[in-house]
A and B are shown apart, each in its own frame.
Chain A
Amino acid sequence: MSQLPDRYDDSELEARAQDRAERRLFWRQLVIVIVIAVVVALRIWFV
């Protein structure tokens, strides 16, 4: 058994890092949605 984060602080730090990773994912998803919206708009405009 190694590196057991049995102190509350360690566990909290890890949980916070995971939530930050999830928030980054949210922003990336938002960028993707915007890019696709632009592609759709260009397609409607040009075709």
Chain B
Amino acid sequence: MEDVARPILVALVLVGAIPLVAGCYQFLLAGLYALRMRTPREPFYPRVAIVIPAWNEAAVVERTLDRLLALEYPADCVRIYVVDDASTDETPRKVLAKAAEHPGRIFHLRRERGGEGKAHTINHGLRIIRAEGWYEAILVIDADVIFTPPSLRRMTRHLSDERVGAVTGYIKEGSRPGNWMNRFVSFEYVTAQAAARRAQNVLGAQACLAGGAQLLRRESLEAVGGEIDTSTLAEDTVTTLGVQLAGKKVVFEPHAIVWAEEPREITGLWKQRLRWGRGNVQVTRRFRHIWLRRGRAGSLGGIGFALIWFSVFLMPVFMLTSSASLVALWFIDDGESLEVFRTLWFLNVVTYLFVTLSSFSIDPETAKRTWREGLLFPGAISLGIILYALYPPLFEDTIAGWLRDAGIEPDDGLATGFLLFAYVWLSASMLAAWLVKLLDSALPKRLRGLCAPLLYVVGYGPLLCAITAAAYVKEARGAEMRWDKTEKTGAVGELT
């Protein structure tokens, strides 16, 4: 019985290596970007209708409009449509004032009955813009994002290629002065956008146009039905996959930088990412006919794209399977469990070094601000296990020596306890991250900073993983789909 169970358990432990392999694969592809991609040389200025869905955005909308007016783009080729979703604050007054200042460039479209969510708001604008027929491309953005002056023209250049149906830019966290959470998000965006989307350019399959910067060719918008999907919480992903399934390419332009304000605390991040996570569950189900079917879906149906998509989507499953199998293996053969554990975590060392150093190299400017959060992305505890896997004598000899000096004899019981803790930490870190989130939401706002050190210990990565697990649960329960707007304060400074 044990002879049969042992290899099965070893294989199940190594399931935990799938996200690690996917991470390395993604960053290797990102490194090949320079060899596979070539920036279009010719300028290309199609008529662009910019759609800004807005609900109570008085704190940010004027600045967003000012920055759009300052784009390096022919003035007669840009029209800005603010679709006001029945705002109850100063948004309509501010937008109307700007529209009066810039007639023919800024338009205020008011929905008197709002509250249906962002996608419905965008569609209200799209119906009017399509009826006018002036536009050659649509740019859907968020009300708080700041487009750097060259960003739009760097994106539109790609549309000179008829095969390209949509383009997205590089969204960077722009809160100034940012707090610890903003720095974690900044580093995350280097990995999830600057690196991952470069890799997806190389693969020829993009997972998602960034919600704050989605440029669509007119024909591609028509190909996906002329409207944005309203049946899921991931309308940007549905559009992205739809454009590609209609036969056009979706491209990421890493030099089109767009600044955005992201949540400043755990509870806000949890709400935002839970919406994204649930959207991904819905998209995975809705597009089930494309996964691993290259003949039907082209690059979207390739093994590489499936590896990238499912390594994130199924991360909690991989972690739980790996931890549980390690513990089961320990009961059968503790020596073998230690060997497999060391192998798995040594792969973790390689991935950690490769992903972290590559991220620093891809965006050195962000790295200067966020290197601590980059190093502690997996959490201090995981970092300790990574150090152990990198060089076991550090713990087995050096730290054991320090304990003896302190009068503590590191006996077998203590060693076994530490080992089992390390075995279950892959999964327990998600639980710990969830507990930190519970503490964050239980504390009054002024005390929430106390959760920061806890998250550095537990890790931002495990927090994202816990949110994915929570998204499964919410979807399985069929919880109500609500559009929880992320609170914006206008904290994005005068960034260029």
Residues of A in contact with B (beta carbons under 8 Å apart): 1-6, 8, 11-12, 14-16, 18-19, 21-23, 25-26, 28-30, 32-33, 35-36, 39-40, 43, 46-47
Contacts and interface: CB of A to CB of B under 8 A. Distances in A.
Contact of A1 (B30, B37, B71): B71
Contacts of B28: 29, 33
A34 to B, nearest CB: 11
B362 interface: yes
Nearest to A19: B39
Most buried by B among A4, A16, A33: A4
Interface residues of B, number: 40
B35 A32 contact: no
A1 B74 contact: yes
Given A32-B357, A36-B350, A15 B31 contact: no
Given A11-B157, A36-B350, A36-B354, A30 B31 contact: yes
A2 B59 CA distance: 26
B495 interface: no
24 contacts: A2-B70, A2-B149, A3-B72, A5-B153, A15-B157, A16-B41, A18-B39, A19-B34, A22-B33, A22-B37, A22-B254, A25-B31, A25-B33, A26-B35, A28-B361, A29-B28, A29-B358, A29-B361, A30-B31, A32-B353, A32-B357, A33-B31, A36-B353, A47-B392
Contacts of B41: 8, 11-12, 15-16
A10 B149 CA distance: 15
Contacts of A46: 391
A33 B150 CA distance: 33
Given A1-B73, A36-B354, 17 more contacts: A1-B72, A2-B149, A3-B149, A4-B73, A6-B74, A8-B43, A11-B157, A15-B41, A18-B39, A18-B255, A22-B33, A22-B37, A25-B31, A33-B354, A40-B350, A46-B391, A47-B393
Interface string B351-379: 00110011001100000000000000000
Give the 7 A-B CB pairs with smallest separation, nearest first. Answer: A29-B31, A22-B34, A15-B39, A26-B34, A11-B43, A28-B361, A12-B41
A1 B75 contact: yes
A43 B33 CA distance: 30
A26 B42 contact: no
Contacts of A32: 353-354, 357-358, 361
A6 B43 contact: yes
A37 B73 CA distance: 46
